[in-house]
Structure 1
Amino acid sequence: MDKLNTLITTAIRKGRQYSRKLWVRVVIMGLLAVFVTLLSQLIEPFIPEEIAKSLNGGSADRLLQLIAVAMLSVTIFSITVMVSVFQSSSSQWTPRVQRLIMQDRTTQNTLAVFIGAYVYALLGIILRELGVYVDERAFVLFWVTVLVLAAIVINLIRWVLHLQGFGQLLDTTRQVESVTRAQFRDRLARPCLGGRPLTKAVPEGTHKITAWESGYLQHIYPEALNATAEEYDVRIYLTQTIGHYAFINAPLLEVEPMGEEPDWDALTGDLKNSISLADVREYEQDPRFGLIVMGEIGSKAMSPGVNDPGTAIDVITRVGRILSDYQDETATEPETLLAHLYVAPLDAADLLRDGFGALSRDSAGTLEVQMRLQQTFSGLMRHPDPGLCKAAKDMARKELARALQAITFEPDQQTLIQSADPEVRPK
């Protein structure tokens, strides 16, 4: 039963990863179009003859031709819009946000429906030319085609409404915040990815599993790792966090045998199947990456070419809202404890640096941004978690000192000091 649960959980995780890819949705809609086309042919013989002959094949032909011509043009237009938005978002904000926009569900679903409808129309036309659908019995084909047209119209309206904000700054920052907050809450709902918190030094005598290629630790399957550890009677220590860049032959995992020495080659091969190394970081399982992207957007807004303090202030507020969900992963036991897997918990100081580090440095001389930054730090210093409170206080004190050096006008300095929490003001 445990192996079955592991397989199901791992399959669900992989399914979630593939569901974010455009080609997967396109293939599914294409197959659905083929299925619907064949299904309509199977249903047709069960329609009473007087009803079946109420519509002839010419009626369906006109609709199929309309869909085939229109969907090709609309799909090309939609792809052009996508490419334009990807390029503009990369140049204006940060290239890291492009991958998130590429995973936009509304865009992917719309393109998948358009291509699926195009495939359906082509199949319908081909089957009509081959004589599979006869003129005398086209009742089901006609009404199925009408339903396909309705689906096209609905998705076209959604797409037009979506384009009103697609790729704009406010929409982009909302998407990044939403995804980051969702990943953050998922991580905290299952502290340490469901494993035991790695808060102490790894025991001596462990066997190091090194990276087989250089790349980011993009994704792991904790249930599969724990199942492998149980099979070989070992404990696995994930010494590197998700998002860490590991060079080839650098330590990635440490394994502690609980009994006899396992077959290390076989164990290493099984562990590789549960760990993903790649050339880029992803948002899933990596809430720190989302915070970094938010910080990059705010930092880019403060560049001389953009000079947009309002965006930086908006990003600070959003990062503060994300961090408000923080809780110490060592304080609670996960619902499903993976007893053979040890994972390092999130560190509050790292999260603050990810979200505010670059932004606070690049906006050190801008009073309005620094005031909002200090107000956010002051709010986080009242957070229920003592670790986050201490980290926020330390960073507030450091960033206040940096800003006071960059801002030379004394009245502005006094204004900034007054906006800071009394606990971090200079004596």
Structure 2
Amino acid sequence: MERILDLFDSLPKTVLQKGRYYTRKLWVRVTLMGLLAVAAIGVSQLVEQLIPDDLAKSLGGVSADRLLNLIANAMLSVTIFSITVMVSVYQSSSTQWTPRIHRLIMQDRTTQNTLAVFIGAYVYSLLGILLRELGVYTDEHAFVLFWMTVLVLLVIVVYLVRWVLHLQGFGQLIDISRQVEETTRDRFKERLSQPCLGARPFVSDQPDKTRAIASWESGYIQHIYPEAMNAVAKEHEVDIYLDANIGSFVFLEEPVLHVHQRGDDLDWDALCEDVRGSLIIGDLRTYDQDPRFGLIVMGEVGSKAMSPGVNDPGTAIDVITRIGRILSDYKDETEATPEEVLDYFYVRPLDPTDLLRDGFGAISRDSASTLEVQQRLQQTLSGLMQHPDKGLSAAAKEFAIKELERATQALVFEPDREALRASAHPSVSGD
């Protein structure tokens, strides 16, 4: 009974996490909109039976046919055009900035919703035409079908206007940078709102006499269902320690988790099988549950901007500012307390040194000889040194000292070196 209660307790959050994961898929939204179109046809057929004959005959079936044919012809062309625009933006963003960008653009809600509405409207029109040809909707009983089609047209117009407005900035650098920043910041806040994913912080070595669960495939740790993992640990009377954080790459047979047994009996095979259902390993890193990946992608955008083929210091400066804004939300996960602590599961907290390296590492290296970018980097790090969290403040100071040394060696003009030192925090420059 206790096991069943634990499973039911962890089920809602696990289902919610999985649901959010799948709703980001384009095919899911298209399928849902197609089902909604089928439901609309079915509802209109039911409502038609309640319409008085005099009112039902006030509109002929020819009126509905015209609208249905209009939607069928227009939606096919508009959908093909929209898909062409999407593919073009994906290719250009991958080539110009980083291939990791296009996977975020593919999850753009406005684009997915618009395509889903267009395809759903196309399905609706085809079903309407088919039912008219089969005689299900006769000329005397097409009143509701006509007005339902008018409603579909209104929805199409609204989403068409939204799509046109969205295309004005879709795929442009400012729009892409803002999307990456918002996604990374949301994942960052989400992680800090549930420190260590709601588990206990894993800040030291695991206890003695632990047993390792090896990776069942090579890949990145993409997602963890912490409530389900805690329920598995409680069921088997063990403590589970996650060695690597989300986004880490693990090889086949490399230890991923360590298990410390609490009880006397342990079904090891059953435990391993249950654990595999609560941890997803894949071939690519994802933004979900992995704020460090978003910082890396932003760093890649800034680094690519400093390449000789692009040579755009302004973009690198903009990215540095955005990364600094994200990191300003940092909180020490070991000092925060989640709403409900998962007592049987341990996760390593985010390390501020890793966060700084993920965000600024590539930019600082590739812009070492560009004064303006290095000045903004030192100014941003100086701001982070004032952060109330001592760990982030100390890590920012250490990073600033190292990057100031790198830049002063790369800059060959002495006045540039002096200007850079003036931009750094006094404790970094030694003034």
Q: Tell me the TM-score normalised to structure 1 length.
A: 0.99
Equivalent residue in structure 2 for 1:342, among 339, 346, 349: 346
Q: Distance in 2 between matches of 1:131 and 1:50?
A: 20
Q: Does 1:398 align with 2:402?
A: yes
- In the alignment, what sits opposite 1:13? 17
CA deviations on 1:247-292 (whole Å, 9 max, x unpaired) are: 0000100010001141111100000000100000000100000000
CA deviations on 1:120-143 (whole Å, 9 max, x unpaired) are: 000000000000000011110000
CA deviations on 1:169-224 (whole Å, 9 max, x unpaired) are: 00000000000000000000000000000011111111100000000000000000
- What is the aligned-residue identity percentage? 67
- In the alignment, what sits opposite 1:303? 307
- In the alignment, what sits opposite 2:174? 170
Instruction: Tell me which amino acid in the other structure corresponds to 2:91.
Output: Q
- In the alignment, what sits opposite 1:362? 366
Instruction: Tell me which amino acid in the other structure corresponds to 1:226.
Output: N
Q: Distance in 1 between matches of 2:320 and 2:52?
A: 66
Q: Distance in 2 between matches of 1:291 and 1:73?
A: 38
How many aligned residue pairs are there?
427
Q: Does 1:57 align with 2:57?
A: no
1:51 partner SS: helix
Q: Distance in 1 between matches of 2:331 and 2:316?
A: 25
Instruction: Tell me which amino acid in the other structure corresponds to 1:387.
Output: G
Q: Distance in 2 between matches of 1:129 and 1:376?
A: 67
Equivalent residue in structure 2 for 1:321, among 320, 325, 344: 325
- In the alignment, what sits opposite 1:130? 134
Matches within 5 A, 1:35-74: 35-74=39-78
Equivalent residue in structure 1 for 2:8, among 4, 18, 22: 4
Q: After TM superposition, what 4+ stretches of structure 1 lie above 4 angstroms from structure 2? A: none
Q: Distance in 1 between matches of 2:336 and 2:430?
A: 37
Q: Distance in 2 between matches of 1:92 and 1:426?
A: 39
Instruction: Tell me which amino acid in the other structure corresponds to 1:24.
Output: V
1:133 partner SS: coil
2:426 partner SS: coil
Q: Does 1:272 align with 2:276?
A: yes
Q: Does 1:222 align with 2:226?
A: yes
CA-based RMSD = 0.7
- In the alignment, what sits opposite 1:145? 149
Q: Distance in 2 between matches of 1:179 and 1:122?
A: 37
CA deviations on 1:371-392 (whole Å, 9 max, x unpaired) are: 0000000000000000000000
Q: Distance in 2 between matches of 1:4 and 1:159?
A: 41
Q: Gapped runs of 5+ residues in structure 2?
A: none
User: Displacement, 1:426?
Assistant: 4.1
User: Displacement, 1:59?
Assistant: 0.2
Q: Does 1:291 align with 2:323?
A: no
- In the alignment, what sits opposite 2:159? 155
Equivalent residue in structure 1 for 2:391, among 384, 387, 390: 387
- In the alignment, what sits opposite 2:240? 236
Instruction: Tell me which amino acid in the other structure corresponds to 1:126.
Output: L
Q: Gapped runs of 5+ residues in structure 1?
A: none
Q: Distance in 1 between matches of 2:282 and 2:325?
A: 30
Q: Distance in 2 between matches of 1:5 and 1:65?
A: 50
Q: Distance in 2 between matches of 1:137 and 1:131?
A: 10
- In the alignment, what sits opposite 1:255? 259
Equivalent residue in structure 2 for 1:208, among 212, 215, 218: 212
Equivalent residue in structure 1 for 2:413, among 402, 409, 413: 409
- In the alignment, what sits opposite 1:101? 105
Equivalent residue in structure 1 for 2:26, among 22, 29, 34: 22
CA deviations on 1:56-83 (whole Å, 9 max, x unpaired) are: 1000000000000000000000000000
Q: Does 1:90 align with 2:94?
A: yes
Q: Distance in 2 between matches of 1:254 and 1:49?
A: 72
Instruction: Tell me which amino acid in the other structure corresponds to 1:75.
Output: T
Instruction: Tell me which amino acid in the other structure corresponds to 1:246.
Output: V
2:49 partner SS: helix
Q: Distance in 2 between matches of 1:332 and 1:352?
A: 21
Q: Distance in 1 between matches of 2:211 and 2:22?
A: 33
Q: Distance in 2 between matches of 1:49 and 1:5?
A: 53
Equivalent residue in structure 2 for 1:78, among 75, 79, 82: 82
1:46 partner SS: coil
Q: Distance in 1 between matches of 2:50 and 2:263?
A: 67
- In the alignment, what sits opposite 1:421? 425
Q: Distance in 2 between matches of 1:304 and 1:228?
A: 52
Q: Which deviates more from structure 2 when the two are superposed, residues 416-425 or residues 252-261?
A: 252-261
User: Displacement, 1:48?
Assistant: 1.1
Q: Distance in 2 between matches of 1:199 and 1:230?
A: 21
